[in-house]
Structures are given as C-alpha cells and as structure tokens.
Amino acid sequence: MLDLQKITQAHVDAYKDAVNRVIESGWFLQGKENQQFEADYAKYIGTDHCVAVANGLDALYLLMRGYKELGIMHDGDEIIVPANTYIATIIAITRNNLVPVLVEPTWENLEIDVNKVEEAITPRTKGVMIVHLYGRVAYNDSLGAICKKHGLKLMEDCAQSHGCAWKGVKTGALGDAAAHSFYPGKNLGAFGDAGAVTTNDAALAEVIRALANYGSQKKYVFKYVGMNSRMSEVDAAVLDVKLNYLDEDNKRRQELADYYYARITNPLIQLPQRIADENNVYHQFPIFCERRDELQTFLAEHGIQTLIHYPIPPHQQECYKDWNARSYPITERIHAQELSIPMNQILSTAEAQEVVRWLNAFT
C-alpha cells in the first residue's frame, strides 16, 4: 500500500541537507524553518496565514477553539459535519464542547450531501466542517452560498487533500479556515506528526498561534489556557522540501487513477464518480464491492495489499456510545463496502497492472 522507505529514498539527499541544517543550527522549535514552511505553505494554498502545529487533530481542535476564544462559537453550539469521516474530525468538535450534527454523504461523491446541509441548520448552528476525504473535494458553489446565507463558518478538514482544488482554488482556501495533517502517510507527510491551520483571518491565526504555545503571545504571559502544540524545526524543514514535489507526486497519482478507471471492468466492483471542476489528488483510491471482505482476502492471496477506510463509522464507535443506535444508511454502506487499493506516487504501472489483473479476476 505504502512504502515510506522507498518514497523517502526518492529525495533522500535533500531531506538529509534539511535535517543537517537544523542540527547545525542547534535551534529545534519556533525558528526559521517553521517561518519558512508557514510562508511557503500559505503561498501554496493561497491564504494569508498558516500556523504550524503538532498534528492534524490539534489543528482541527485549535481552529474551533480559536473561534471560541474570539466569541464566535460557544459551548453547545452545533457544527455540521459528514457522518463518514475519520474520528479526529469528530473528536475535535466534541473536545471543544461543541455538538457535531452528522450529515450523510452522497453515495456518488462520498462527500457531505450538500442538499442535506441546509435542513440540518438550527439556531444553534455556527459552522460547517467539510472533510475532503480520499483526496476528493467536498466543496461546491452551493455549499459556499448556504454558509454565507446563514452566516456560518465554513471550515475544512484537509488532512487527506494536499493540492486538491475546486475550480482552481486549493482546499484549505475554500472556506474561512482549514486544518491540515502532515502525518507521514499523507500526500504531504512529515517525519513524524505535524499539522497546520490555514486562513485569511488574521485574528483567528493570532489566537491559534497563542493557543498552540500555552496560550502565550509574550514569553511567560498567558492570555489563554492553551496547550503545547508546535511543529519541530526538523519537520518544518523536511516538509518545505517535500512541498516542492507535491504537485509532481499528485500528478503521478492522477495518472494511476486514469489507469485504474480505464481498466477496472469487473461488474462486482464500483468506482467512485469523477467530479467535474475538481482536482482530485487521490490520497486513497476507494473502490466498492458488496463482498468487500471476500475481495480483500482474494487480493491478499495474490499479493495485493489493501486497507479499509474505515471499517466502523464514528456513530458506531464505543467512544460515542450515545449515538450507537442511530442510523446513517449511506455512511454505513460506504463503511461496509469500501476498500482502498494501492495508490501512491511510487507505484509502478506494472504494479498497477497486477492490481487491475486481480481485481478483474475476482468472481
């Protein structure tokens, strides 16, 4: 599925130079490397601000915590969020004492059903958190219009969408603020945990920067009850190198996706719809099969690794017991049928051919 050793080898000298520069500087936190990466990533995404933090979950948490400190969100306010997301999106909402309002995705797009967003709005709704899952875009013009009409903050979870865009605007710059993860397996991955918030909102960026530094804007003076969520200088230096290769890597993923779309012909397997106006960066390549578990075993027997994203939806998790009796049929169907097949920038065409061969051989 993902050979991080091989992926790292592709530009290993550049990473060594970057890490050596940090070692020689003797400066490991809150230094020039963070400043440079923040400037370069903000430019890449197309926002005025980027605040580097320790991981994607913190980025999500700090984004909404920032809105709370600014008096824009309060305990008990509702945040609309897709029912089919990685648990971190939901944790960030509940840990802020906000209430996630789970909205079904569409089966065709796998992203939040924009037609259902407006019905989910109540007087307590303060924001919509979209998740660009699998590298697909979750935004469209009507979603932007709904948020504007109702005065809601449009927030993006970009953990899986580095480089993804809608009509040329990058995810991370489509709404009011966005959280990014640089977990090693992401399209833009660090050498450990790392994350960031991007926004054009200077006040929000300033609060988040303070919150991530114990709540301090001035040494030993604490304005907020903050946390320690900073990106290491090593990670910032490495990410700044990797950013140079992101578009090229995503292009290779798109070539492989074209290859899969043209050649996976097994009627037992369904491929997700391709969306006009989107620059899908294929963080994962999800396929769907009613006999998903049998298919996974069959592929494994023929040397093809796959992963399920994700086996249990958030509302059925033990940590959210109160929601376990709820029903979200489309979400549940996605979780029951989804299988992610190999997709990454170093996958060779010969390897993709093997994947296709065994997918088409499944009866």
Ligand X SMILES: Cc1ncc(COP(=O)(O)O)c(C=O)c1O
Q: Is 181 in the site for ligand X (CB under 6 A)?
A: yes
Q: Which among 52-60, 209-217, 227-235, 331-339 is the span making contact with ligand X, rule CB under 6 A?
A: 52-60
- Read off the DSSP letter of residue 328: -
Q: Is 157 in the site for ligand X (CB under 6 A)?
A: yes
Sketch the per residue contact string, 68 through 97, with ligand X: x for CB under 6 A, - otherwise.
-----------------xx-xx--------
Q: Is 172 in the site for ligand X (CB under 6 A)?
A: no
Tell me which of 34, 55, 280, 345 binds ligand X, using CB under 6 A. Answer: 55
CA 199 to the chain's CA centroid: 16
Q: Is 131 in the site for ligand X (CB under 6 A)?
A: yes
Q: Is 284 in the site for ligand X (CB under 6 A)?
A: no
For the bound state, the minimum distance from the C-beta of residue 147 to ligand X, rounded and expressed in Å, comes to 20
Contacts of 121 (CB under 8 A, 6+ apart): 80, 146, 150, 152
Looking only at the bridges linking them, the beta strands covering 338-341 and 285-288 are: antiparallel
**What number of chain residues touch ligand X (CB under 6 A)?**
15
Q: Which among 50-58, 141-149, 241-249, 297-305 is the span making contact with ligand X, rule CB under 6 A?
A: 50-58
| Nearest to 73, CA basis, from 160, 212, 176, 161 | 176
| Nearest to 104, CA basis, from 303, 269, 331, 263 | 331
For the bound state, the minimum distance from the C-beta of residue 283 to ligand X, rounded and expressed in Å, comes to 8
Which amino acid does the sequence have at 57? L
| Residue in the shown chain whose Cβ atom is closest to ligand X | 56
- Read off the DSSP letter of residue 323: G
Strand partners, 339: 287
Tell me which of 81, 159, 177, 281 binds ligand X, using CB under 6 A. Answer: 159
Residues 186-215 that bind ligand X (CB under 6 A): 193, 195
* Look-up of token digits 């897709």: 82
For 139, the 3-state DSSP assignment is coil
Contacts of 292 (CB under 8 A, 6+ apart): 308, 336, 337, 338, 339
By CB under 6 A, name the binding residues for ligand X: 55-57, 85-86, 88-89, 131, 157, 159-160, 181, 183, 193, 195
